[in-house]
A and B are shown apart, each in its own frame.
Chain A
Amino acid sequence: MRFKLLVLVAFLLIGFAAKAQTQEDQLIKDLIESIAENLPEDYDLSELQDRLTYYRKNPINLNNTNAEELKTLVFLSPLQISNLFQHIKQNGKLIDVLELQSIPEFDVQTIQRLLPFVTLEQSTLFDRITVKNLVNLGNNDLLVRYGRVLEKSKGYNDLPGSRYLGTPDRYLFRYKYNYSNRVSASLVFEKDAGEYFFNGPKQYPFDFLSGHVAFFNTGRFKKVVLGDYTMQFGQALTLWSGFAFGKAPDVASVVKRDVGLKPYTSANEFAFLRGAATTVTVLKNVDFTPFFSFRKLDASLSLDANGENVITSINETGLHRTESEIRNKNSTEQIVYGGVLQYRTNALSLGAIGYHTSFNNAFVTGSGLYRNFNFTGKELTNVGANYSYTFKNMYFFGEIGKSLDAGLAYVNGALVSLSATVSAVVLHRNYQKNYHNFFNQATAEASEAFNEKGFYAGLNINPSRAWSIQIYGDYFKFPWLKFRVDAPSDGYEFLGQVTYTPNKTFRAILRYKSEVKQQNTDLTVPFNYLDDVKRETYRAEVKWALNRFFGFQNRLEIAQYKKGAANAEFGYLFYQDINYSPLSSRFSGNLRVAYFNTASYNSRIYAYEDDVLYNFTFGLYNGKGIRTYANLKYRLAKRLDLWARYALYNYENVETVGSSLDEIKGSQKSEVRLQLRYQF
């Protein structure tokens, strides 16, 4: 009933929509959406959206840029970037953007994607740092978000044991300041559902607080960041905080886009460093990035035989809702310091990394033989070296990392443009079981890059403008035991995808993915043996535009899960999206209605969901029922935008939704979100 009403309301609103201003965000939204389809399920796109929004206003000058900056445009491949610089070197500065078409590897799609974010004009902005300029020419961006699950979950009841101590409301406050390419600053507060809002225990005054001040391009100092920042170098094997791309339908995504030191403005409570860092040009083509970080982590502690605190695990969720989560909050101090040396020319880049990580409490291996080679103690030193080299139509890349007194890891690969229509990626990796590193996001099958060997090969074929084919295969081996895998194991993954885009208003995609891994048998036996676990997904999708106002998208996805000799189980998802986004209207909005039916959590399906700007959701479709959501955007004033979202899961034949403290009585779970952005 509620759903029907919602549809009605949505249509009414759409019907009344008036014509107003153009929508600058639509372009970015479309781009992000097409990129999101080809990303791993857990990638945080808000940062990317931030960046693209920034470049939309302050386009990159292609005649005066560097590889580091261009790598932040994730749809550019390293080979394209290298070819661009090669072209400029040979032919002089670009005079017209049409010239891009003559650069090898720049296909029409890439150019179309690139154009909104680049320029050839020297910025006329006078970008000296003065108080007057900072005030008059700076961009301010203020964002406030509120969200809440409407049903009351078990954790908010007055339970005798563990319960959520705060309110179910979620708040985000973010302020960002930016002046040309010289100064940036940010301040972020966040409260998750179940946390105290104001002045709770260990809160001053909000649960999560993050901020930074950064200066760029001041003499030899290319970057200076005080506050929260991330470090992303090489192939993410030695030093990389924050998210990194991994295996994805875009086969080139295994090549990491290292952008070095970056201010941190996201609300993720784990993936950053806190302190000070700078990138200094010490010689021509040589940069040095020293950094220091001091921060507190959420660790669950226990006492060892000597009565001292030891770390049993680190909690990365940033949730501080229950008594024990609050007790673990900030319980361990982490100090990281070190430096990165980089040498860069158009074709060649070399890097050397060394840093030291220490904690005030010691790590212990914990129970379970599979943890036998995990990091123990309080101190760790990591060193590493990375390279990339462009030779003709080939881009070679790699990194080697070593944790002192422990293991070694290396990864090497090549991205080769075989012809105008075919490119290939190969990647070999070998991460030892005792490779210890707290800032390791290298390409791997497992969530962390250690105890793994593997070989990945992918092909990207674009036989014509309308057709695009992606294929990759990855074989991996885990030489040591893993969680729920009591023996060395191996597996493989295969993906094939065909996209047909005959014109701008129609796109069809077929995707097949298959993954085989091994896991302990479910049977009760004296010694666990391994069973093959096979997960296959089939996807068919069409997206089409009815007219300038309405767009539709349909998807059918089928998942199959089979473990050992047991029968295969199936899950499927079907959805219909309706998108309303006229070029000239204060209103825009979209709507999804999905039906899903999965036999169990094993055959669950993920799908990207539209959300309020800067918030990204990969919906989890598990069980049986209907999922629906509606997003609305309304331009209140020239610089003031409002977003609203309502989303609902309606399960069939269940008495409760969710588990443990998140359990909700009934068959529905609904959530609202409101967001206001003011740019001034």
Chain B
Amino acid sequence: MRRILLVFFCLTFIVHTVSAQYNQGARLTAMGNSSAAVKDIWSLNANPSGITDQKSPIAALNYAKYLFGDDLSEQSFAFVLPFNGNFAGFSINRYGISEFNEIKAGMALAKKFGEALSIAVKANVHQLKITNYGASTTFTVDVGANYELNKQLAFGVYVNNPSAQKYKASNVAAHIPSAVHLGATYSPSNKIIIATTITKDFDQKFDVGMGIDYKFYELLSLRGGITAKPFKQYFGIGLNYQKFMLDIAVESHPQIGYTPQIGLSYAF
């Protein structure tokens, strides 16, 4: 019974209201997922054109734990490879418990047009698996663009699943979000990024998010963010040590409570 309740909870709360987007890694999450114009390896799960800042191949792992469930978690892996001014990316997310899980895996291709403009597309395969119930798959596309107006201001836009693809099995209630995200970043110095993103999910009201990343020391970054619908607060810290980056984030939801996550990346 408890499991069934949990599955119900996952479906209603997480998939439908919280997860208008897939996990964007601990850094972007700590900034309130206000990631439309932020550049990060985890832009793969947000605005894929944000991967064009990487100088060398980079790999990252992320783990988020939902505290209201015994083993409910989300695991993610991302990899970006720069080549000849182009960028290839691969990411995979698994979310759920053993009886219920959803996987999103995708390949992205991003290209820089001059110094300011980047454009990317990403193709995803989604799989939803429920024990004793079956599995269902589908394909979606994400597209995104990023434009750096000057050193301080940048703008980004991306669309998830513009063709509103659904799972093939018609009796599955799980929903793949279709949303437009529009964002900007303001970096008054090289220590600070203030980011904001407006999200319009086709089936929901507007959501607005705002986040900040402050490089406190060369080694340490502090982050925070809020989103409006529902009202969530986010905090995080990042540790930079040579080629390693360790990021920790906590998301606070008025009903669900705290969701901690941790991410590790390595730039080759």
Asked if A473 and B194 make an inter-chain contact with CB atoms under 8 angstroms apart, the answer reads no
Interface string of B145-178 (1 = CB under 8 A from A): 0000000100000000000000000000000000
B212 at the interface (CB under 8 A from A): yes
Asked whether A420 and B189 contact (CB < 8 A) given A461-B194, A471-B210, A475-B233, the answer is yes
B117 at the interface (CB under 8 A from A): no
Asked if B233 and A457 make an inter-chain contact with CB atoms under 8 angstroms apart, the answer reads yes
Q: Roughly how many angstroms separate A416 CA and B222 CA in the complex, as a whole number?
A: 12
- Nearest CB of A to B219, in Å: 16
Asked if A516 and B214 make an inter-chain contact with CB atoms under 8 angstroms apart, the answer reads no
Interface string of B200-224 (1 = CB under 8 A from A): 0000000000101010000000001
- Nearest CB of B to A497, in Å: 13
Name 15 interchain pairs, CB-CB below 8 A, sorted by A.
A418-B188, A418-B191, A418-B212, A420-B189, A424-B212, A424-B214, A426-B224, A457-B226, A459-B212, A471-B210, A473-B210, A490-B254, A492-B231, A494-B226, A516-B231
Most buried by A among B186, B191, B192, B194: B194
B252 at the interface (CB under 8 A from A): yes
Residues of A with C-beta under 8 A to B226: 457, 473, 494
Asked if A419 and B191 make an inter-chain contact with CB atoms under 8 angstroms apart, the answer reads yes
Q: Roughly how many angstroms separate A419 CA and B226 CA in the complex, as a whole number?
A: 21
- Nearest CB of A to B259, in Å: 15
Which residues of chain A in 448-476 are interfacial with respect to chain B, using CB atoms and an 8 Å cutoff? 455, 457, 459, 461, 463, 471, 473, 475
Which residues of chain B in 226-244 are interfacial with respect to chain A, using CB atoms and an 8 Å cutoff? 226, 228, 231, 233
- Nearest CB of B to A494, in Å: 7
8 Å CB contact of B233 from A422, A424, A455, A516: A455
Asked if B228 and A422 make an inter-chain contact with CB atoms under 8 angstroms apart, the answer reads no
Q: Roughly how many angstroms separate A420 CA and B192 CA in the complex, as a whole number?
A: 11
Nearest opposing residue in chain A for B191, CB measure: A419
B residues adjacent to A (C-beta < 8 A): 152, 186, 188-189, 191-192, 194, 210, 212, 214, 224, 226, 228, 231, 233, 252, 254
Nearest opposing residue in chain B for A475, CB measure: B233
A421 at the interface (CB under 8 A from B): yes
Nearest opposing residue in chain A for B226, CB measure: A473
Asked if A419 and B189 make an inter-chain contact with CB atoms under 8 angstroms apart, the answer reads yes
Q: Roughly how many angstroms separate A584 CA and B192 CA in the complex, as a whole number?
A: 47
Asked if A419 and B224 make an inter-chain contact with CB atoms under 8 angstroms apart, the answer reads no
Beyond contacts A422-B192, A463-B186, A494-B228: 10 other A-B pairs, Cβ-Cβ < 8 A, are: A418-B214, A419-B189, A419-B191, A419-B192, A422-B194, A463-B188, A473-B210, A473-B226, A494-B231, A516-B231
- Nearest CB of A to B186, in Å: 7
Q: Roughly how many angstroms separate A473 CA and B226 CA in the complex, as a whole number?
A: 7
- Nearest CB of A to B204, in Å: 16
Main secondary structure of the interface of B (DSSP, over half): strand
Asked whether A473 and B233 contact (CB < 8 A) given A418-B214, A457-B226, A490-B254, the answer is yes
- Nearest CB of B to A412, in Å: 14
- Nearest CB of A to B137, in Å: 38
Interface string of A419-440 (1 = CB under 8 A from B): 1111010100000000000000
Q: Roughly how many angstroms separate A349 CA and B122 CA in the complex, as a whole number?
A: 55
- Nearest CB of A to B156, in Å: 19
Residues of B with C-beta under 8 A to A416: 214
- Nearest CB of B to A453, in Å: 12
Asked if A461 and B186 make an inter-chain contact with CB atoms under 8 angstroms apart, the answer reads yes
Q: Roughly how many angstroms separate A640 CA and B92 CA in the complex, as a whole number?
A: 79
Nearest opposing residue in chain A for B189, CB measure: A419
Asked if B212 and A475 make an inter-chain contact with CB atoms under 8 angstroms apart, the answer reads no
Q: Roughly how many angstroms separate A475 CA and B189 CA in the complex, as a whole number?
A: 29
8 Å CB contact of A475 from B152, B194, B210, B252: B252
- Nearest CB of A to B205, in Å: 12
- Nearest CB of A to B183, in Å: 15
Nearest opposing residue in chain B for A494, CB measure: B228
Asked if A475 and B231 make an inter-chain contact with CB atoms under 8 angstroms apart, the answer reads yes
Asked if A419 and B212 make an inter-chain contact with CB atoms under 8 angstroms apart, the answer reads no
Asked if A421 and B188 make an inter-chain contact with CB atoms under 8 angstroms apart, the answer reads yes
Nearest opposing residue in chain A for B210, CB measure: A471
Residues of B with C-beta under 8 A to A418: 188-189, 191-192, 212, 214
Nearest opposing residue in chain A for B231, CB measure: A492
Residues of B with C-beta under 8 A to A490: 254
Residues of A with C-beta under 8 A to B192: 418-419, 422
Residues of A with C-beta under 8 A to B231: 473, 475, 492, 494, 516
Nearest opposing residue in chain A for B233, CB measure: A475
Nearest opposing residue in chain B for A492, CB measure: B231
Q: Roughly how many angstroms separate A286 CA and B189 CA in the complex, as a whole number?
A: 40
Nearest opposing residue in chain B for A455, CB measure: B233
